Structure 1
Amino acid sequence: MSNSPSLRSYAYVLAVPDLVRTAEYFRDVLGVVPEWQDGDNWQALARDGVRVMLGHCPDALPPRDLGDHSYFAYLHVDDIDALHAELLGRGALIRQSPTDKPWGMREMALETPDGHRLMVGQEIR
């Protein structure tokens, strides 16, 4: 066993072309609550200990142009089907509905209007 400090992933930083539109999607569709805002430059949001910090970067390469490389997170959830129903009801961009995978996870894929992608998984018991 190592004496190295353990890291815990809790925050993601995303470059977004339209801060207001993207923050509204995270808030209204994904159910992420605003924490703080720095003018027109930054917006931080959180849900259940997961934080997303959105930086206004209108000249950055659009995430949609990155294709599969636009995945930024893998989140664990205790009831993926309930989360799927919640997000579907709010109009989330769902790339893949919950599906059992051979590696013991039930996963779904989401996308933001900018093209950022994230996976959500629940351990199959």
Structure 2
Amino acid sequence: MTLSLQFTNVTVNDVDESIAFYSGALGLDVQNDVGSGGHRWVTLATPAQPGLGIVLSEPHAGRSQADGDALQELLTKGVLPMLVFRTDDLDGLYETVRASGAEVLQEPMDQQWGPRDCAFRDPSGNTVRIAQAPAA
């Protein structure tokens, strides 16, 4: 038996603004753009992990009003789970994302537990970390 992660969801305030960040700044590819019931889901992926999709959706997409409101409150507070990406060129990707206007939370630095990493906020306030494995 095998088990692998197929999708992970990222709640955002504005799907188009988020596509500009995740596709434009981070370089992910748009795989699907689906509308239903006045809401929209967009799936992004990277050639490095073709079976893993990152789904962007607004808080009320596919949820009850109460659940969407609760999720919106958490998004506004900036307390939803972060995404952590890995790259082989942290400094280059950092400069690309910084130049996109994303809010920098941490410039690239070596962490005591091993990786070199940096952190940003996406346009909706979600924390996005980018790590590079230590040199062997």
Interval containing the TM-score (normalised by the shorter chain)? 0.7 to 0.9
Mapping of 1:1-125 within 5 angstroms? 5=2, 7=4, 9=5, 11-39=7-35, 40-48=39-47, 49=49, 51-58=53-60, 59=69, 60-62=71-73, 63-67=75-79, 70-125=80-135
Q: 4+ residue runs of structure 1 moved beyond 6 angstroms?
A: none
Structure 1 residue 29: deviation in Å? 2.7
| TM-aligned CA deviation for residue 56 of structure 1 | 2.4
Q: Tell me by how many angstroms 1:106 deviates.
A: 0.3
SS of the residue aligned with 1:41? strand
SS of residue matched to 1:82: helix
* Deviation of 1:66 (Å): 4.0
Supply the AA of the counterpart residue of 2:123.
Answer: P
Count of residue pairs brought into register by the alignment: 119
Conserved 8 A contact 1:35-1:45: yes
Displacement of 1:45 in angstroms is: 1.4
Q: Secondary structure at the match of 1:22?
A: helix
Residues of 2 paired with 1:66 and 1:93: CA distance? 13
Larger relative strand fraction: 1
TM-score, with length taken from structure 2: 0.72
Q: CA RMSD in A?
A: 2.3
Counterpart of 1:47, as a letter, is: T
The secondary structure found in structure 2 opposite 1:87 is: helix
- Give the fraction of aligned pairs with identical amino acids, expressed as a percent: 22
Q: Distance in 1 between matches of 2:29 and 2:93?
A: 16
Residues in 2 aligned to 1:51 and 1:6: alpha-carbon distance in whole angstroms: 15
Cα separation, partners in 2 of 1:10 and 1:97, compared to 1, 3 Å: farther
CA contact (8 A) 1:30 1:92 kept: no
The alpha-carbon distance between structure 1 residues 44 and 6, as it changes in their structure 2 partners (threshold 3 A), is: closer
